[in-house]
Amino acid sequence: MIRFFEKAPYAPVEYCYEVEEILYKGKSRFQEIMVVSNPHYGKMLILDEVVQMTERDEFFYHEMLTHIVLHSIPNPRKVVVIGGGDGGVVREVLKHKSVEKIFFIEIDEEVINISRQFFPSVSSGVDDPRVEIRIMDGAEFLAKQKASDIDAVIIDSTDIIGFARSLFTAEFFRNVKNCLTDQGMFVTHTESLHFHKDMVIEIQETLKEIFPVVDLYTTSIATYPGNWWAFAVATKGTSPREIRNTFQIETNYYDDEVHRQAFVTPRLYEKLMHGKLKW
Amino acid sequence: MIRFFEKAPYAPVEYCYEVEEILYKGKSRFQEIMVVSNPHYGKMLILDEVVQMTERDEFFYHEMLTHIVLHSIPNPRKVVVIGGGDGGVVREVLKHKSVEKIFFIEIDEEVINISRQFFPSVSSGVDDPRVEIRIMDGAEFLAKQKASDIDAVIIDSTDIIGFARSLFTAEFFRNVKNCLTDQGMFVTHTESLHFHKDMVIEIQETLKEIFPVVDLYTTSIATYPGNWWAFAVATKGTSPREIRNTFQIETNYYDDEVHRQAFVTPRLYEKLMHGKLKW
pLDDT score, position B182: 98
Complex ipTM > 0.90: yes
- Chain A positions touching B258 (Cβ under 8 A) are 265, 268
Indicate if A258 and A176 belong to the same structural domain. Answer: yes
- Comparing CB atoms, the residue among A56, A220, A253 nearest residue B227 is A220
Residue type, A219: T
State residue A1's pLDDT score: 84
In B, which residues are within 8 Å of A3 by CB distance? 14
Query: Do A126 and A195 sit in the same domain of this protein?
Result: yes
Chain A partners within 8 Å of B218 (Cβ): 220
pLDDT beneath 70, residues of chain B: none
**Annotated active-site positions of B, please?**
156
What is the structure's pLDDT at B1?
Answer: 84
Q: Is residue A279 part of a domain?
A: no
For residue B163, the model assigns a pLDDT of 75
Q: Which of A16, A60, A220 is the closest to B14 by Cβ?
A: A16
Q: Residue A236 in 3-state DSSP?
A: coil
Asked whether residue A211 is domain-assigned, the answer is yes
8 Å CB contact of B222 and A252: no
Residue B279, in any domain of the structure:
no
Residue at A30 is within a domain = yes
| Strand intervals (E) in chain B | 2-5, 14-19, 21-27, 32-38, 42-47, 50-54, 78-83, 101-106, 131-135, 150-156, 180-192, 213-220, 228-235
User: Are the C-beta atoms of B279 and A57 separated by less than 8 Å?
Assistant: yes
CA B33 to chain A, closest CA, distance in angstroms equals 21
* Cross-chain residue pair A220–B220, CB shorter than 8 Å: yes
C-beta of residue A17 within 8 angstroms of C-beta of residue A38: yes
The enclosing H or E element of A81 equals strand A78-83
Count of CB atoms within 10 A of residue A197's CB? 18
- Strands of A31-77, DSSP E: 32-38, 42-47, 50-54
Q: What pLDDT band is residue A57 in, cutting at 50, 70 and 90?
A: very high
CB-CB: which of A41, A255, A261 is closest to B261?
A261
- Whether residues B87 and B179 share a domain: the answer is yes
Mean pLDDT value across chain A: 95
Per-residue DSSP letter, A148? S
pLDDT tens, position by position, A232-259: 999 999 999 999 987 789 999 999 999 9
- Name the closest residue on chain A to residue B17, using Cα atoms: A13
Chain B: which residues have CB within 8 Å of chain A? 3, 5, 12-18, 38-41, 56-57, 59-60, 192-195, 218, 220, 222-223, 226-228, 252-253, 255, 257-258, 261, 265-268, 277-279
Which residues 6+ apart lie within 8 Å of B254 measured at CB? B63, B64, B67, B68
Chain B nearest CA to A172, separation (Å): 31
Contacts with B121 from chain A: Cβ below 8 Å:
none
Count of domains in chain B?
2
**Residue A224: domain span:** 58-273
Residues from chain B that touch A278, judged by Cβ atoms under 8 A, are 252
d(CA A76, CA A154): 13
- Residue pair A208/A273 in contact (Cβ under 8 Å)? The answer is no
* Active-site residue, from A108, A156, A159, A215: A156
Q: Is residue A88 part of a domain?
A: yes
Give yes or no: residues B18 and B150 share one domain.
Answer: no
Residues B6 and B132 in one domain: no
Pair (B13, B116) in one structural domain: no
CB neighbour burial string for A54-70, b if at least 16 within 10 angstroms, e if fewer: bbbbbbbbbbbbbbbbb
Instruction: Write the single-letter amino acid at A24.
Output: Y
Task: Specify whether B147 is located in the same domain as B218.
Answer: yes
Angle of helix A197-208 relative to helix A170-179, nearest 10 degrees?
Answer: 50
Domain match, A29 and A129 both: no
Residue A17 three-state SS: strand
Range A69-90 average pLDDT: 97
Contact B16 A15 (CB under 8 A): yes
pLDDT score at B94: 98
Q: Which amino acid is at B267?
A: R
- Contact by Cβ (8 Å): B78, B100: yes
Chain-centre distance for alpha carbon A235: 17
Specify the CATH number for the domain of residue A45: 2.30.140.10
> How far off is chain B from A271, nearest CA to CA, in Å?
9
Supply φ then ψ for residue A165, to 5 degrees.
-60, -35
Mean pLDDT check: name the lowest of A17-21, A102-106, A158-162, B172-176.
Answer: A158-162
Q: Determine contact, residues B70/B256, Cβ cutoff 8 Å.
A: no
Structural element, H or E, at residue A63: helix A58-72
Q: Residue B220 and residue B231: Cα distance in Å, rounded? A: 11
The residues with which A251 forms a beta bridge, in sequence order, are none
**Distance between CA atoms of residues B43 and B46, nearest Å:** 10
Q: Decide: helix, strand or coil at residue B265.
A: coil
User: Which of the listed residues B14, B29, B54 is the one where a domain comes to its end?
Assistant: B54
* Within a domain: B222: yes
Q: Are A198 and A234 in contact (CB under 8 A)?
A: no
pLDDT at B245: 87
Which residues in chain A have Cβ-Cβ distances shorter than 8 Å to B193? 220
Among A223, A33, A48, smallest CA distance to B12 is for A223
The pLDDT value recorded for residue A245 is 87
Give the closest-approach CA distance of A276 to chain B in angstroms: 8
CATH number at residue A119: 3.40.50.150
B238 and B108 in a common domain: yes
Tell me, yes or no, whether B229 and B200 share the same domain. yes
Q: Which of A279, A253, A257, A256 is nearest to A268 (CA)?
A: A279
Does A252 contact B277 at a Cβ distance shorter than 8 Å?
yes
Active site residue A256: no
Q: What is the average pLDDT across A88-97?
A: 98
Q: With contact defined as beta carbons under 8 Å apart, do B31 and B47 qualify?
A: yes
Are residues B186 and B213 both part of a single domain?
Answer: yes
Identify the bridge partners of residue A102 per DSSP, sorted by sequence position: A79, A131
> Do B221 and B228 touch, CB atoms closer than 8 A?
no
Q: Are B117 and B178 in contact (CB under 8 A)?
A: no
H or E element, residue A153: strand A150-156
Backbone angles phi, psi at B16, to 5 degrees: -125, 125
Give the pLDDT confidence score for residue A279 in this predicted structure: 80
Domain endpoint, select from A54, A80, A96: A54
Residue A81 counted as domain residue: yes
Enumerate residues 6+ apart whose C-beta is below 8 A from B146.
none
pLDDT in tens, A150-194: 999 999 998 888 778 889 999 999 999 999 999 999 999 999 999
Other Cβ atoms closer than 10 A to A193: 24
Question: Helix (H) and strand (E) counts for chain B?
Answer: 8, 13
Cβ–Cβ < 8 Å for B122, B153: no
Burial of A188 (0-12, 13-18, 19+ CB in 10 A): buried
Per-residue pLDDT at B242: 97
Does B278 reside within a domain?
no
- Domain boundary (A54, A72, A88) is at A54
Angstroms from B219 CA to nearest CA on chain A = 9
Assess contact for A229 and A191: CB atoms under 8 A.
yes
Query: Are residues B112 and B132 located together in one domain of the fold?
Result: yes
